[in-house]
Amino acid sequence: MPAKPARILVVDDDPDILVAARLLLKQQGYQVRTETYPQAIPKALEQESPAVVLLDMNFTQEATSGREGFYWLQQIGELDPTAIVLLITAYGDVEMAVRAIKEGAVDFVLKPWQNAKLLATVSAAVELHRSRRETHHLRSRQQRLAADLDQPFGDLIGQAPVLQDVFQTIDKAAPTDASILILGENGTGKELVARAIHRRSARVDEVFIAVDMGSLSESLFESELFGHVKGAFTDARSDRAGRFEIASGGTLFLDEIGNLPLSLQVKLLAALQNQQVVRVGANQPVPVDVRLICATNQPIHEMAAAGTFRQDLLYRVNTVEIHLPPLRERPEDIALLARHFLDLYRAKYRKAVTGLTAAALAHLRQYAWPGNVRELQHTVERAVIMSEGSRLTANDFPLTATPPPGDSVAFDSYNLEDVEREVIARVLRKHQGNVSQTARELGLTRTALYRRMEKYGL
């Protein structure tokens, strides 16, 4: 789409000047508005949003001080900070020109002007206006983004005690450079936590690089993480930095690290221990400085015990561990999250949906949410898209009641003590021996759980 012609506002008490400026500038494709009295400037700025204002310095007969020009220069700067002001006068001198530039004018034009010089000055002013407007737009976006990021934990929404524990851990660990391991089921928000940690770290002004380790094949692993040089392999047509180099100085987030084969775990461990990488096809190591955050939905401690995940690598990546609870363990947050996603998608899709009925909220709470927060988000998005009424009802959420993952358990014995022992053992394994989290999921006090653990030799 071609750019719209720039708008030029010319303000001068001399009708001949206005006619000459209009004819000259219109020949160059500009949209031109002329005004004889400066009192018309506020309305012209509101209606036209001109890129450039050509402003006379004096509007009173025999005035030569430029006082009126300086006054309206200030007014234009307050009414439209992106407008470019060019002052025009028949009585220009160096002192007045310097003062005009200091007070916000971009240039100073003497009349009678030379057409070529005036056109060149206006053209440069139009380009400056485009640049200034883009800068103003970017600054506004940055301010809005900063305001969003300053909200407590951004998109990490929840009031449940188990999530508040996560927030406290983030607050303590984020300012350090400690390696962090985030554990949790798919859809619980592991990358959101990683980004929250980065935003609260000393590296916030540097890059955040995320890598899905589960999607990297063994042949691509070294090239993607460590980079390569031209000619290292068939498709290596140029030198390329890997994710470690790109993230140097910032944060590197390795998602689904539990899916990494043992052969690749060794290479990753070497890079972390040496704090340097060697590009594929090169011999010279490249030093790197990254804050490492990893995440997995796998039972990584059990994997380490079984020998399918290197114990030394686990030590390297989990200086601090954060356990993200599944949504079914914080049902009190379902309504809060549902309303958040409703506000998000009704604005995105311009739908007149104002809320959810009590029955709809009850329906959402009864569901097990095996896909966790991500599944709830997609469910609300679909409901908003398909909605026809002003409020979402239970019928807008065609959910099938399913038991939470792992609830369908087969037992070798149905003796109640045997069943109780097996359930406690499984939940303990799930939480890697964390008694507080195990007690909370079982609905027991820590003391009661300790008694049962002693009773069953756990």
Q: Looking at residue 443, which CATH number applies to its domain? A: 1.10.10
Do 181 and 311 lie in one domain? The reply is: yes
Residue 22: is its pLDDT beyond 90? yes
DSSP conformation class of 91: S
Average pLDDT for 56-63: 72
Give residue 149's pLDDT: 45
Same domain, 107 and 121: yes
214: Cβ contacts below 8 Å, ≥ 6 apart: 255, 256, 259
φ, ψ of residue 129 in degrees (nearest 5): -65, -40
Distance CA 110, CA 119 (A): 13
Question: Which residues are paired to 55 by β-bridges?
Answer: 11, 87
Report the C-alpha dihedral over residues 152, 157, 159, 160, rounded to 10 degrees.
-130
CATH of the domain at 363: 1.10.8.60
194-229, pLDDT tens digit by residue? 999 999 999 998 889 999 987 887 778 888 899 888
| Pairing, β 227-228 against β 240-241 | antiparallel
On whether residue 301 sits in a domain, the answer given is yes
Convert 333-391 into a string of H (helix), E (strand) and C (coil). HHHHHHHHHHHHHHHHCCCCCCEECHHHHHHHHHCCCCCHHHHHHHHHHHHHHHCCCCE
Listed ranges 4-13, 126-135, 394-403, 433-442; the one with the highest mean pLDDT = 4-13
30 and 43 co-located in one domain:
yes
In a domain, 391, yes or no: yes
For the beta carbon of residue 112, count every other beta carbon within 10 angstroms. Answer: 10
1: pLDDT strictly greater than 50: no
Cβ contacts of residue 117 below 8 Å, gap of 6+? 109
Place 134 in a pLDDT band, splitting at 50, 70 and 90. Answer: confident
In a domain, residue 407? The reply is no
Residue 411 lies in a domain: no
Judgement on whether residues 137 and 187 belong to the same structural domain of the protein: no
Measured CA to CA, the distance from residue 79 to residue 126 in angstroms comes to 18
Report the number of secondary-structure helices (H) and strands (E) in the chain. Answer: 18, 16
Contact indicator for 304, 310 with CB cutoff of 8 Å: yes
What SS3 class is residue 212? strand
pLDDT higher than threshold 60 for residue 408: no
**Total of domains in the chain:** 4
Q: Which two tokens stand for residue 49?
A: 């949003």
- Residue 62 phi/psi, 5° resolution? 65, 10
Is the CB of residue 298 less than 8 Å from the CB of residue 259? Answer: yes
- Give the pLDDT band (50/70/90) at residue 433: confident
Total residues found in the chain within this entry? 458
pLDDT digits (tens, 9 = 90+) for 297-345: 999 999 999 999 999 999 999 999 999 999 999 999 999 999 999 998 9
Q: Which domain holds residue 24?
A: 7-141
Q: Are residues 241 and 338 in the same domain?
A: no
CATH number for the domain that contains residue 211: 3.40.50.300
Predicted local confidence at residue 94, as pLDDT: 60
What average pLDDT does range 143-149 have in this prediction? Answer: 49
C-beta of residue 296 within 8 angstroms of C-beta of residue 256: yes
- 276's enclosing H/E stretch is strand 276-277
Q: How far apart are CA 17 and CA 65, in angstroms?
A: 20
Q: Strand, coil or helix: what is 296?
A: strand
Residue 413, classified by CB atoms within 10 Å of its CB into exposed (0-12), middle (13-18) or buried (19+), is exposed
* 311 contacts: CB under 8 Å, gap ≥ 6: 304
Same domain, 332 and 313: no
Q: Is residue 119 assigned to a domain?
A: yes
pLDDT band at 411 (very low <50, low <70, confident <90, very high): low
Confidence at residue 99, expressed as pLDDT on a 0 to 100 scale: 78
Percentage of the chain with pLDDT > 70? 89
227 domain residue, yes or no: yes
* Last-in-domain residue among 323, 340, 355: 323
The most confident of the ranges 57-71, 94-108, 155-169 is 155-169
**Based on the domain organization, do 208 and 287 belong to the same domain?**
yes
Tell me if residue 205 falls in helix, strand or coil.
coil
Residue finishing a domain among 396, 425, 447:
396
Which letter does DSSP use for residue 331 in this model?
A: G
Q: Is 47 helix (H, G, I), strand (E, B) or coil?
A: helix
pLDDT band at 230 (very low <50, low <70, confident <90, very high): confident
Q: How far is CA 397 from the centre of its chain?
A: 29
As a whole number, mean pLDDT of residues 66-95 equals 81
pLDDT value for 92 = 59
CA-based diameter of the chain, in Å? Answer: 109
Identify whether 149 is part of a domain: no
Q: In this model, does residue 150 exceed pLDDT 60?
A: no
Confidence of residue 151 (pLDDT cuts 50, 70, 90): very low
More confident residue, 323 or 66: 323
Whether residue 160 lies inside any domain: the answer is no
Distance CA(250)–CA(245), nearest Å, equals 10
* pLDDT at 67 (0 to 100): 80
pLDDT-based confidence at 403, cuts 50/70/90? very low
Residues 308 and 336 placed together within one structural domain of the fold = no
Query: Which tokens in the block code for residue 279?
Result: 């590009």
Q: Which residues pair with 56 in a beta bridge?
A: 88
DSSP code, position 397: -
The pLDDT assigned to 171 comes to 93
- Residue 394: DSSP 8-state: G
Q: Give 97's pLDDT tier (boundaries 50, 70, 90).
A: low
Instruction: State residue 355 phi and psi, 5-degree precision.
Output: 180, -170
Provide the 8-state DSSP code for 36: S
Query: Is the predicted pLDDT of residue 418 greater than 90, yes or no?
Result: no
What pLDDT does 81 receive?
A: 84
Does 89 lie in the same domain as 29?
Answer: yes
Task: Indicate if the pLDDT at residue 157 is higher than 80.
Answer: yes
With 90 as the cut, is the pLDDT of residue 3 above it? no
The verdict on 305 and 345 lying in the same domain is no
Q: Are residues 217 and 236 in the same domain?
A: yes
The string of pLDDT tens digits covering residues 249-283 is: 999 999 999 988 888 999 999 999 999 999 988 88
> Which token pair is 312?
């030394």
279 and 259 within one domain: yes
Predicted pLDDT at 98 = 73
Q: What is the mean pLDDT of the chain?
A: 85
Task: State the CATH number of the domain containing residue 67.
Answer: 3.40.50.2300
Q: What is the mean pLDDT of residues 150-177?
A: 83
pLDDT, position 296: 94
Span between the terminal Cα atoms of the chain, in Å: 71
Asked if residues 456 and 424 have their Cβ atoms less than 8 Å apart, the reply is: yes
Asked whether the predicted pLDDT for residue 118 surpasses 70, the reply is yes
**Which residue, 323, 345, 369, sits at the end of a domain?**
323
Question: With 70 as the cut, is the pLDDT of residue 425 above it?
Answer: yes
Identify the pLDDT of residue 451: 77
